[in-house]
Amino acid sequence: MVIVIPDEILQATHMSEDEVKEEMAVLLFQKDKLTLGQASCLAGMSQLQFQHLLASRKIPVHYDVAEFEADLRILHEMGRI
Question: Quick check: is 1 in a domain?
Answer: no
Question: Quick check: is 56 in a domain?
Answer: yes
Q: Please state the pTM of the whole predicted model.
A: 0.73
Question: Quick check: is 11 in a domain?
Answer: yes
Residue scoring higher pLDDT (71 or 10): 10
- How much is the mean pLDDT over the chain? 89
Domain tally, the chain: 1
In this predicted structure, what is the pLDDT of residue 15?
94
Residue 68 structural domain:
7-77
Residues in contact with 57: Cβ distance below 8 Å, sequence separation at least 6, in sequence order: 26
Dist. CA 41–CA 78, nearest whole Å: 11
In this predicted structure, what is the pLDDT of residue 78?
82
Torsion of CA 25, 27, 29, 33, to 10 degrees: -100
